[in-house]
A and B are shown apart, each in its own frame.
Chain A
Amino acid sequence: MKSESPITASNSHEGTPLLDLRGMVKSYPGCLANDQVDLTLMPGQIHALLGENGAGKSTLVKMIYGVLRADQGDIEWQGAPVTINNPSVARGLGIAMVFQHFSLFESLTVSENIALGLGDSSGVNTDSLDEDIVTISARYGLPLDPERYVYTLSVGERQRIEIVRCLLQNPKLLIMDEPTSVLTPQEVDTLFKTLRQLSSEGVAILYISHKLDEIKALCHHATILRGGRVVGIANPATESASSLASMMIGQDVTPHRLPESAGFGPVSLACQSLTLPAADSFSVKLDDINLSVRAGEILGIAGVAGNGQDELINALSGEILLSSADMVQFKGQPVGRLMPGSRRQIGLCVVPEERLGHAAVPGMSLAENAFLTGAQRLSLSRVGFIRHRASRQFASRVIDAFQVQCRGSAAAADSLSGGNLQKFVVGREIMQKPEVLVVAQPTWGVDAGAAAAIHDALLGLAADGAAVIIVSQDLDELLGVCHSIMAICAGKTSDVFPAKHITMEEIGLLMGGAALDGLQATDGVVNGQESARKFGPEAPL
């Protein structure tokens, strides 16, 4: 331990470390995920594990939790060497983990889900378990109804199940993998209160994140990983965000500057009272959504996952046809009942969130995947026959323009890394020169380099006169590249606000469904133009 944390008195560095990792190594074929990683954790310490996507954070904690086995390295727990070869051993030691992707069972109740995570000892006496759940959740401010089925719960509530499940085991160490990526800023505050309370009770917390502000606000200590190695140990309270960032990324970072817009064109895409009933109890209904985006404008839609984003994207792409064509208007023309191919044909392209299986067919080549959405706009077929060579050429152009690392247009989509596939599927739409591009989570799980390339491409597209909608839960991304921002919550959208006048906290309120007083919505503000809410034919600029 290099530095004393000034933040907390409970964080004693005397005595035996709770957890001591020495020389952890884990390799996958063609990739060294962890290379001689050391880490020491004291009781009651909130310890950040900071790093980019792919830095090896998840691999390290999975080894601590017994999900993965280390190739080399020693683990000491309270001073004694231990071998953790499966999660139940970890749980037995007092290690609990909240995964980034929840391990929940949708068709089971909250208490059944919790019972499943408690190991064999708990039996099936759910009555006493229910009482424990209520007690714990009240004590840490995490309200939960044990009888509810998981599929009826919001993402935030689901995370509470995971946390309560961990707390019921009286853990000595709680591992949290990117816990805030699915929460609104307000929910994050609540979570931090719970974590600080736990820390004061002596529970150590290993907190994985790449969000610098959070780590500065919460953590006593930070270990920074890059490319599978420890590249720094720091006290987050005394470091600046940019020094942490440069350690994490390995170079100085310059914050993204949104180019001043020269002004927007007419409305390219508008939703007018877009309403869509929920398909089943697993999906969200869209409730009277109104929005519009003009040529050259980038509109960001913020929201916590599961608030209707998928449904909105599907309604815009044409995967779900609406009851009235007027609900989606492309340059004043009703398109709400056009099939996806016809929408692409006229210039409305979409990049869905899920790369594999939705935006691209996993086992098919990039050329075939290029054909998948390029067929109409680039005339890649002739009288029902595929123009294979033209498809290959199109794929190659996307690969070149977006520097997609792959073996060429014959490579299967699932042989690419996440970032490269994302560059390909975004590039595939941008290279079709759409007039409107809707992108969901454009940089989710993508490394910084690829993210920057994608953002540049989106900005370039808008600069060339296209309207762009970005649906994202990454508020830094939205504030960095969007001109206007709105939020979606429970299938309803908020007002639209100019990005330069709104703060992250305010977006957080919108994501939680609150209305903002005192901040003027975009109507009549940006550019002094007419209200963005008006529909119908626009006068040309």
Chain B
Amino acid sequence: MIRLIKRPEPSRVMVYLAPVIALVLTLLAGLLLFFLLGVPVGEALYAFFVEPISTRYGLAELGVKAAPLILIGAALSLGFRAQVWNIGAEGQLVAGAITGGAVALWFYEVEAWYVLPLMMLAGIAGGMAWASIPALLKTRFNASEILTSLMLTYIAGLLLSLLVHGALRDPDGFNFPESRLFHAAATLPIVLDGTRLHIGFPIAIMFVATLWILLSRTVLGFELQVMGAAPRAGRFAGFRESSVIWFCLLLGGGAAGLAGLFEVAGPIGQLIPVVSPGYGFTAIIVAFLGRLHPVGVLFAGLVMALSYLGGESAQITMNLPKAVTGVFQGLLLFFLLATDVLILYRFGWGRRSLAATHT
């Protein structure tokens, strides 16, 4: 029987190879899935993975979808390293969209340079405010941030729905649950002419670089990692658990809020009842696929963005259900978690399962 043997030290090779193996396994599983659905396999794969990025516009769209994923995924990955499980980024994204969008509508008559920066600040603040609730409940009352941040996601969705049905509804919109369209001064500048690629993408890349430095060079980054790996050692060193929790949640909330603002001020251009196809949840996968490292998250964000584009393209050209995207994403995360075992263990043959080296 196959058994797992603990490696004397973590495998460097596997740290990089495991995500690749996971991707390949996901592809194979995808082939099987298409086969079972009775879909021509080759065509489906082409529609899913090649067609979307075969044009300049398609590549730009990849950036449009990747920007929020990278932004949120990078922030979440720091939190996950510290064992702060903010899984309500989707709600924080919505909160940021609401506050940022509200600023756009407030300055509806104003066409000034400062409107957009104000919207961005408001988006960040909205996401942070939403994330501060689980942070407060965790640090003051010990309530699991997993459950509170998730419950707040549902509440944020309902709040947005309430607002676009009421206070923020377009007065000339025939009672459609939509806000007014934002003016030019309140929409994001495009960085690639003829596409929808907005400044959110370069900002996301700068954010990744910043977090990389934070993680590898600063005491704060060290603190996060110690708190995640050995909280008692962190307290012994003098780090405060509560400040780590606050930092991680505010960082994730701020990033998600900004991503939400980018969605409404970019591709969407107004407030509507649903502003995200689940970026906040997919970012969790992105964080893990990127090995909880900002630079890994950059690549993982692009891969996951492709899965969104692929889903849309397969829906159009092959009439495949859009839900295939979700299945692919879930499968990828499963395979990734499964192949992670190779970093700490190797496979061997023998009677006993899970034998560990004894030192």
A residues within 8 Å of B by Cβ? 28-31, 33, 317-319, 339-342, 344, 350, 352, 354, 356-364, 368, 371-373, 375-376, 381, 384-386, 388, 412, 415, 417
Contacts and interface: CB of A to CB of B under 8 A. Distances in A.
Contacts of A357: 230, 232-233
B219 A358 contact: no
Contacts of B8: 29, 415
B217 interface: yes
A357 B226 CA distance: 10
Of all A-B residue pairs in the complex, the 4 with the closest CB atoms, nearest first, are A341-B238, A340-B238, A28-B358, A361-B230
Nearest to B226: A361
A417 B359 contact: yes
Contact of B222 (A317, A340, A371): A371
Interface in B223-264: 225-226, 229-230, 232-233, 235-238, 240
B283 to A, nearest CB: 25
B359 A372 contact: no
23 contacts: A28-B359, A29-B8, A31-B358, A339-B240, A341-B238, A342-B238, A357-B232, A358-B230, A359-B233, A360-B230, A361-B233, A363-B10, A363-B229, A364-B225, A372-B226, A376-B238, A381-B219, A384-B218, A385-B218, A386-B217, A386-B218, A386-B219, A415-B9
Given A28-B358, A28-B359, A417-B359, A360 B219 contact: no
B2 interface: no
A415 B359 CA distance: 9
Nearest to A418: B359
A361 B229 contact: yes
A309 to B, nearest CB: 15
A248 B230 CA distance: 36
Contacts of B226: 361, 364, 372
B54 interface: no
Interface in B345-359: 357-359
Contacts of B358: 28, 31, 33
B11 to A, nearest CB: 13
Contacts of A361: 226, 229-230, 233
Interface in B180-230: 217-220, 222, 225-226, 229-230
A344 B220 contact: no
A28 B357 contact: yes
A386 B238 contact: no
A319 B217 CA distance: 25
B236 A385 contact: no
Contacts of B359: 28, 30-31, 417
A254 to B, nearest CB: 30
Nearest to B237: A372
Contacts of A317: 236
Contact of B233 (A33, A341, A358, A415): A358
Nearest to B225: A364
Given A28-B359, A358-B232, A340 B218 contact: no
A354 B232 contact: yes
A386 B9 CA distance: 24
Contacts of A350: 236
Contact of B237 (A341, A356, A388): A341
Nearest to A375: B219
Given A341-B237, A344-B238, A415-B8, A384 B220 contact: yes
Contacts of B229: 361-364
A136 to B, nearest CB: 35
Max count, chain B CB within 10 A of own CB: residue among A28, A29, A30, A368: A29
Contacts of A415: 8-9
Interface in B73-114: none
A45 B281 CA distance: 65
Contact of A319 (B230, B235, B357): B235
Interface residues of B, number: 22
B357 to A, nearest CB: 5
A317 B239 CA distance: 12
Nearest to A417: B359
B80 to A, nearest CB: 15
Contacts of A344: 238
Contacts of A381: 219
A412 B238 contact: no
Contacts of A359: 233, 236
A384 B238 contact: no
Given A385-B219, A386-B218, A339 B238 contact: yes
Contacts of A318: 238
A376 B237 CA distance: 10
Nearest to B6: A29
Contacts of B237: 340-341, 372-373, 375
Contacts of A385: 217-219
A362 B230 contact: yes
Select the residue from B10, B219, B237 with max chain A CB neighbours within 10 A: B237
Contacts of A354: 232
A317 B236 CA distance: 7
Contacts of A339: 238, 240
B233 A360 contact: yes
A530 to B, nearest CB: 34
B198 to A, nearest CB: 32
Nearest to A342: B238
Nearest to A33: B358
Contact of B9 (A342, A356, A412): A412
Given A33-B358, A319-B235, A368-B222, 8 more contacts: A317-B236, A318-B238, A340-B235, A341-B238, A356-B230, A358-B230, A359-B233, A372-B233
Interface in B1-45: 8-10
Contacts of B235: 319, 340
A139 B226 CA distance: 51
A352 B233 CA distance: 10
Contacts of A29: 8, 357
Contacts of A30: 357, 359
Contacts of B236: 317, 319, 340, 350, 352, 358-359, 372-373
A373 B219 CA distance: 12
Nearest to B227: A361
Contacts of B240: 339
A28 B358 CA distance: 6
Contact of B219 (A31, A384, A412, A417): A384
Contacts of B232: 354, 357-358
Nearest to A338: B238
A361 B224 CA distance: 12
A386 B224 CA distance: 14
A526 B240 CA distance: 41
A371 B219 CA distance: 9
A376 B230 CA distance: 20
A358 B238 CA distance: 12
B230 A386 contact: no
A270 B201 CA distance: 58
A331 B151 CA distance: 51
Contacts of A388: 217
Nearest to A354: B232
Best-surrounded residue of A361, A372, A386 (most CB of chain B within 10 A):
A361
Max count, chain A CB within 10 A of own CB: residue among B9, B218, B233, B357: B233
A525 to B, nearest CB: 35
B235 to A, nearest CB: 5
> Which of B8, B9, B222, B230 has the most chain A CB atoms inside 10 A of its CB?
B230
Nearest to B233: A361
A83 to B, nearest CB: 14
Interface in B99-131: none
Contacts of A356: 230
Nearest to B231: A357
Nearest to A341: B238
